[in-house]
Copies of this chain bind each other. A is one copy, B any other.
Amino acid sequence: MTEPAYVAMDWGTSSFRLWLVDRAGQVLAERRSGEGMLAAAKAGFPAVLQSHLAAIEAPDHLPVLVCGMAGAKTGWVEAGYVDTPAPLAAVLKQAVRVPGEARDIRILPGIAQRDASAPDVMRGEETQLLGALGLKAAGEALVCMPGTHSKWVRVKDGVVERFSTFMTGELFSVISRETILSLAVAGADEDEAHDIASFKAAVRAAHDAPAFVANHLFGARSRQLLFGGTPAAARETLSGTLIGVELAAGLSGSVPQAGVRLIAAGRLAVLYRLAFEALSVNVDPVDADEAARRGLSMAAAAIWTKSKDL
């Protein structure tokens, strides 16, 4: 086994992933945890980090590079923002060192869009963009990053020009748990095979008439009352409706020839690929975990190993 060179860490709101990486960018060990920013703010960020570093036997001198919500005002150390238009190269130059720690721990900044008519912020996604697109990506990219708070980003020649956050995932979560629709989806198993027909029909209906979103949602319940139908179908209708409305907005500008860069992982990657398929839009998929790790490695190399091959 080669020597570890640094630890890369994507520290989000509700979970984190951490990688022990060698100088060549190879992963030597990996950890995942539910101790995201919210949990760590209570337990203490240094203690949480140290317990995981000890578990992978990271040497005391090993530096740690962090991206994500740990750099928020309510996180560990506020890492600020790079403002749009934001060169991805600026992100890796503005890492903030955590004070009072013997170990060299740095947190990457987010990106802010200080436009009074469309204010927006991201933290963590800028690192995924770096990993997925690289520093020198020429041309235009339209990037879709699904999640609790999905991001749609326009990148031109390595610069984040504009982006929009859609709270699609969080809406799905509260609507399926806390509204009358919880009755319609009760018993639907998250792991069962998708009712792809219901999902795609809901995506298309919502995309074609997004103003009717609150009506399409209620339709999942009315349909059950009047025509029967499974909880799984209602769940797919709910999910497809919310994703279809998001896609209507995200695709409302020009779509590059190469299609949409979809940076996603797990269940969301599957759902969004189906959604784009329902609308006959090409996608170029990238694994989100892989993109985050690669972006962190690029930043770590720039900060500590001064590699020339970035």
> Are B175 and A222 in touch, CB under 8 angstroms?
no
- A214–B167 CB distance below 8 A: yes
Stretch in A113-121, A261-269, A294-302 with 4+ CB within 8 Å of B: A113-121
Interface locus among A3-11, A20-28, A186-194, A241-249:
A241-249
B213, A164: Cβ atoms closer than 8 Å: no
How many angstroms between the C-alpha atoms of A225 and B225 in the bound complex? 43
Which residues does chain B contribute within 8 Å of A121, judged by CB atoms?
222, 225-226
Interface-side segment among A54-62, A153-161, A204-212: A204-212
From 198 to 246 in chain A, residues with beta carbon under 8 angstroms from any chain B beta carbon are 209-215, 217-219, 222-223, 225-227, 242, 245-246
170-198 of chain A: CB within 8 A of chain B: 170-171, 174-175, 178-181
Complex contact A246–B120 (CB within 8 A): no
B175 touches A218 (CB 8 A): no
Cα–Cα, bound, A119→B116 (Å) = 40
Query: Would you give the shortest CB distance from A206 to chain B, in whole angstroms?
Result: 9
Q: Which of B215, B226, B248 contacts A166 (CB 8 A)?
A: B215
Find residues 99-118 in chain A having any chain B CB closer than 8 Å to their own CB: 112-114, 116, 118
Interface residue A31 (Cβ < 8 Å from any Cβ of B): no
Closest to A112 in B: B226
Say yes or no: A215-B249 contact (C-beta < 8 A), given A170-B179, A175-B174, A179-B170. yes
- CB-contact partner of A212 in B174, B179, B249, under 8 A: B249
A2 CB-CB contact with B under 8 Å: no
Which of A's residues lie within 8 Å of B, judged by CB?
73, 112-114, 116, 118-121, 149-150, 164-168, 170-171, 174-175, 178-181, 209-215, 217-219, 222-223, 225-227, 242, 245-246, 248-249, 252
Listed A/B pairs (20) with beta-carbon separation below 8 Å? A118-B219, A119-B219, A119-B223, A119-B227, A120-B219, A149-B180, A164-B215, A165-B222, A166-B215, A167-B180, A167-B214, A167-B217, A168-B214, A170-B179, A174-B179, A210-B210, A210-B211, A210-B213, A211-B252, A215-B249
